[in-house]
């Protein structure tokens, strides 16, 4: 039995073979760059996980996956993400880290939105538009934890809708000078209007976008328009005035799951973002001391001095004591980093131990967020 890795650009196919003629399982490791607030980290996406039907329930995928964890760690990825089936990937240290957000509003209410009177040029997104579209995407997601950094080399068109098998349509708006003002992407469906991505350079474009969707919903005879986006998105806040109904799901052991691979490098990259958060938290801005983060991957020590966070070179000393000492599984730390769970909820969980009483500091470092990956980036 052996494992073969086939590199295809940013995609790395890993195959498990029983012998030279029998391949029993495979998966893909996909290079991604992910935002955590203002900073970015290397993220290994897992996709295309498959075991040949006649070889299932024999432990082959478990063997391949365990080896792949080592492979990703050795390759220097800080974290890994996958969209998993229920009750399987938690066995490999993955935990749900992405809520599912969706809201809808009535078409009759959306009809009240008034399109801008100015002369705008509107047409479907084409390959020639992608440079501008990606620039607007970057601008609108510059601080969004979980969002994927898109490269013009790999992201050349919108292909995925709000469901795995949905094809998409798109449209953009430019002003008279050619400046890109907004774009949106929705499922190609004759009976529904489901928007999977929407961004605008200015909120003044939102009524125009909603008016366009209302006209589409009228033509399709749809009572509702549905949006897949996080609740802190500017358009979601705008849509509230028209009456919105939200569905927020926190899956257990499934869907958008993550784990830490290289803990020390992860926090070295996170340090500027953690510093920024402390600088904005007046109550703990002047805190001085050390925070020890102990997981099964080792101990990372954050040295904190009046709002500046650095990773202590003494990280890894298991016998050292710290001003604030937090012991927890790596997957729970991953959930804190993503803002998926609150500090209070994590600290109150079995297997977690906090020595010290600086809840305000931990809350400032690891605030609740709305982590989100846009459907177009699913893998």
pLDDT tens track for 195-235 = 999 999 999 999 999 999 999 999 999 999 999 999 999 99
Pair 275, 286: CB distance under 8 Å: no
Angle at 126 (CA atoms; ends 123, 129), nearest 5 degrees: 90
* Helix pair angle (263-279, 330-338), 10° resolution: 40
pLDDT confidence of residue 200: 98
The upper half-sphere exposure of residue 143, i.e. CA atoms within 13 Å in the direction of its Cβ, equals: 9
For the chain, the straight-line distance linking the first and the last C-alpha, in angstroms and rounded, comes to 28
Q: How far is CA 268 from CA 87, 150, 227, 275, 290, in A?
A: 32, 23, 36, 11, 15
310-369 confidence digits (pLDDT tens) = 999 776 667 788 999 999 999 999 999 999 999 999 999 999 999 998 789 999 999 999
Per-residue burial over 337-373, b if 16 or more Cβ lie within 10 Å, else e, is: bbbbbbbeebbeeeeeebeeebeebbbbbbbebbbbb
pLDDT confidence of residue 315: 65
pLDDT confidence of residue 171: 98
pLDDT confidence of residue 319: 77
Distance, CA of 308 to CA of 212 (rounded, Å): 47
pLDDT confidence of residue 316: 64
pLDDT confidence of residue 318: 72
Distance, CA of 273 to CA of 228 (rounded, Å): 27
142-182 confidence digits (pLDDT tens) = 999 999 999 999 999 999 999 988 999 999 999 999 999 99
Distance, CA of 259 to CA of 207 (rounded, Å): 40
How does the average pLDDT of the chain come out, rounded? 96
Q: pLDDT grade, residue 297 (50/70/90)?
A: very high
What domains appear along the chain, each with residue ranges and CATH number? Answer: 2-96+252-258 (3.40.630.30), 101-249 (3.40.630.30), 262-365 (3.30.1050.10)
Instruction: Provide φ and ψ at 261, rounded to 5°.
Output: -110, -50
Angular region, 247: left φ>0, alpha ψ -120 to 50, beta rest: beta
Distance, CA of 31 to CA of 19 (rounded, Å): 28
- Checking if the pLDDT of 77 tops 70, the result is yes
pLDDT mean over 126-140: 98
């Amino acid at each position: 039995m052996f494992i073969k890795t086939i590199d295809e650009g940013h995609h790395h196919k890993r195959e498990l073979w029983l012998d030279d003629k029998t391949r029993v399982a495979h998966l893909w490791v996909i290079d991604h760059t992910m935002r955590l607030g203002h900073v970015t980290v290397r993220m290994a996406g897992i996709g295309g996980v498959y075991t040949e039907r006649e070889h299932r329930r024999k432990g082959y995928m478990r063997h391949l996956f365990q080896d792949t964890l080592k492979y990703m760690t050795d390759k220097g990825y800080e974290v890994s993400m996958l969209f998993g089936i229920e009750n399987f990937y938690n066995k490999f240290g993955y935990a749900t880290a992405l809520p599912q957000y969706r809201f809808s509003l009535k078409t009759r209410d959306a009809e009240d939105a008034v399109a801008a009177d100015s002369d705008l040029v509107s047409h479907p997104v084409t390959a020639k538009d992608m440079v501008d579209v990606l620039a607007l995407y970057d601008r609108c997601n510059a601080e969004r934890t979980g969002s994927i950094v898109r490269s013009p080399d790999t992201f050349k068109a919108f292909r995925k809708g709000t469901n795995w098998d949905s094809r998409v349509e798109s449209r953009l708006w430019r002003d008279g000078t050619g400046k890109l003002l907004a774009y949106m992407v929705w499922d190609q469906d004759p009976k529904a209007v489901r928007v999977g991505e929407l961004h605008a350079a200015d909120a003044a474009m939102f009524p125009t976008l909603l008016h366009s969707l209302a006209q589409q919903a009228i033509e399709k005879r749809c009572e509702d328009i549905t949006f897949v986006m996080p609740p802190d998105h500017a358009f979601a806040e705008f849509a509230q005035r028209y009456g919105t109904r939200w569905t927020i799901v926190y899956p257990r052991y499934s869907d958008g799951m993550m784990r830490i691979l290289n803990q020390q490098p992860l926090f070295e990259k996170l340090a500027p973002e953690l510093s920024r958060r402390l600088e904005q938290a007046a109550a703990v801005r002047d805190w001085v001391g050390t925070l020890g983060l102990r997981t099964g991957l080792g101990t990372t020590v954050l040295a904190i001095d009046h709002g500046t966070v650095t990773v202590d070179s003494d990280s890894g000393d298991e016998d050292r004591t710290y001003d604030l000492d937090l012991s927890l599984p790596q997957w729970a730390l991953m959930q804190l980093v993503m803002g998926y769970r609150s500090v209070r909820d994590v600290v109150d969980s079995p297997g977690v131990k906090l020595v010290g009483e600086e809840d305000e500091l931990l809350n400032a470092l690891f605030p609740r967020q709305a982590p989100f990956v846009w459907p177009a980036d699913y893998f």
